[in-house]
Amino acid sequence: PEKLIIIGGGLAGSEAAWQAARRGVKVELWEMRPGKMTPAHRTGYLAELVCSNSLRADTLENAAGLLKAEMRRARSLIMAVAEECRVPAGKALAVDREEFAARVTAALEAEDRITIIREEARAIPVQGPVIIATGPLTSPALAESLKGFTGAEYLYFYDAAAPIVTAESLNYKRIFKASRYGRGEEDYLNCPLNEEEYRRFYEALITAERHPRHEFEPEVVFEGCMPVEVMGRRGPDTLRFGPMRPVGLIDPATGKEPYAVVQLRRDNLAGTLYNLVGFQTSLKWGEQERVFRLIPGLEEAEFVRFGVMHRNTYINSPTVLKPTLQLKEHPQVFLAGQLTGVEGYIESAASGLVAGINAARLIKGQEPLTLPPATAHGALLQYITDPTHDPLQPMHINFGLLPPLERRVKGREVRNRALAERALQIWSSLGEFSGN
């Protein structure tokens, strides 16, 4: 029988290897660490968490919680180990980072069908079957090889990004539409801050916890993409002359220019997502939620992507990838993890789970599956591969990606729970994905 090659032993590759091996498939898992490190990893463990030790929310009112519930039903290794190394974190699932990565590594090493090769893969094996899961910090040689498969124009890199929130989570009692000096269409949403609100926000921003600086972050940042908290530290008014300047914006509620403004720009054609203009940041993800919710109008904002100041490598999935995670032009090549444009530890592991199961199916002569869009896995993979989302922006799981309920339900929490219940009901009929 054919063996499956998996390149990259991170969150996605580890889960994929486990799922395929559980289905009787022989796996060769290539991981370049510790011989060759990435700029963010610190150890030789598989599934190392490069930053936060939180795998985010774990209740069904939250889409990240739903994704976890589906993974547990599919007997996910990442979820099982996370449970064993859980540390107290309220409604979130946080883990002991060392213990977590060490145990995932041990579980994969103990599995007879998995051979771990500690070497950099510099080219994608043409014959396949192969899963590429080399993550946001894919080694340059492999990125070159990947270009050959996808077309150079479809492999993206960016080094900084601002957070994105959902339109439906905004508080429109505080926000007004306007463009500066009334010029152009009223394309922007504006969140006005009075002096007191500004001071409170400013204090929180400059004292919030940042990601430890990695050596690949340039010492001198270009003015145009300086983290907002770094700019803030230059002085209490710097931001009011920078991304938060209010000039030319009249708040209809007061008839005056506010003391400061945060502008939101549409991020997709459908108008369901907005980014915070000029707010690229390296604050820790939990801190971003806490600090940016101090901005009037964003009190309950739902973040579909957090700001980052590090490299992210990903492909334009809407053009090249199927929702089964196979390349359209090379069905024996699967992609998984952050490389596909999903964002986050859990999303990466979830896509690895699907790639592992689907690659095993292909090897056994079965059709790889497209998951129903009303499940969290299905919605996420549908989103990243949908041609209308070209060019792709990396995406967290969120309830906005699922098709709406057939009936109207009032209240966000109640609605989310109903969406989660519907998803889990569908999930239970998905054969091997549901653990049957």
Minimum distance from residue 216 beta carbon to ligand FAD (Å): 9
DSSP code per residue over 323-355? TTSBBSS-TTEEE-GGGGTB-SHHHHHHHHHHH
Q: Beta 92-95 vs 333-335: how paired, if at all?
A: unpaired
Nearer to ligand FAD, 2 or 217 (CB): 217
Q: Tell me how far, at minimum, the Cβ of 284 lies from ligand FAD, in Å.
A: 7
- DSSP code, position 254: T
Could you give the CA distance from residue 250 to residue 257 in angstroms, rounded to a whole number? 5
- In whole angstroms, the minimum distance from the beta carbon of 282 to ligand FAD comes to 9
Phi, psi of 180 (to 5 degrees): -60, 135
User: Do the beta carbons of residue 40 and residue 214 sit within 8 Å?
Assistant: yes
Name the token pair of 355: 């790639």
Integer Cα distance of 144 and 138 in angstroms = 10
Q: Which residues contact 58 (CB under 8 A, 6 or more apart)?
A: 64, 65, 68, 91, 92, 93
Nearer to ligand FAD, 141 or 414 (CB): 141
The smaller minimum CB distance to ligand FAD, of residues 282 and 416, is found at 282
Looking at the Cβ atoms of 146 and 261, the one nearer to ligand FAD is: 146
Nearer to ligand FAD, 25 or 161 (CB): 161
Residue nearest to ligand FAD (CB): 10
Minimum CB separation of residue 364 from ligand FAD in Å reads 24
Q: Cα separation of 164 and 160, whole Å?
A: 13
Of 51 and 225, CB closest to ligand FAD: 51
Q: Which is nearer to ligand FAD, 8 or 129 (CB)?
A: 8
How many residues belong to the chain?
Answer: 436
Contact indicator for 155, 149 with CB cutoff of 8 Å: no
Closest distance of CB 47 from ligand FAD, Å = 7
Residues that bind ligand FAD (CB under 6 A): 7-13, 30-33, 38, 40-41, 50-52, 120-121, 133-139, 142, 285, 310, 337-339, 344-345, 348
d(CA 220, CA 236) in angstroms, rounded, equals 21
Rounded to a whole number of angstroms, the minimum distance from the CB of residue 5 to ligand FAD is 11
d(CA 260, CA 181): 15
Q: Which is nearer to ligand FAD, 120 or 203 (CB)?
A: 120
Residues 345, 346, 349, 354: what is their CA dihedral angle, to the nearest 10 degrees? -150
Q: In the complex, what is the shortest distance from the CB of residue 149 to ligand FAD, in angstroms, rounded to a whole number? A: 14
Question: Any residues with CB less than 8 A from the CB of 12 and at least 6 apart, and which?
Answer: 133, 135, 336, 337, 338, 339, 348, 349, 351, 352, 355
Rounded least distance, CB 288 to ligand FAD, Å: 10
Q: Which is nearer to ligand FAD, 130 or 402 (CB)?
A: 130
Report the nearest approach of ligand FAD to the CB of residue 281 (Å): 12
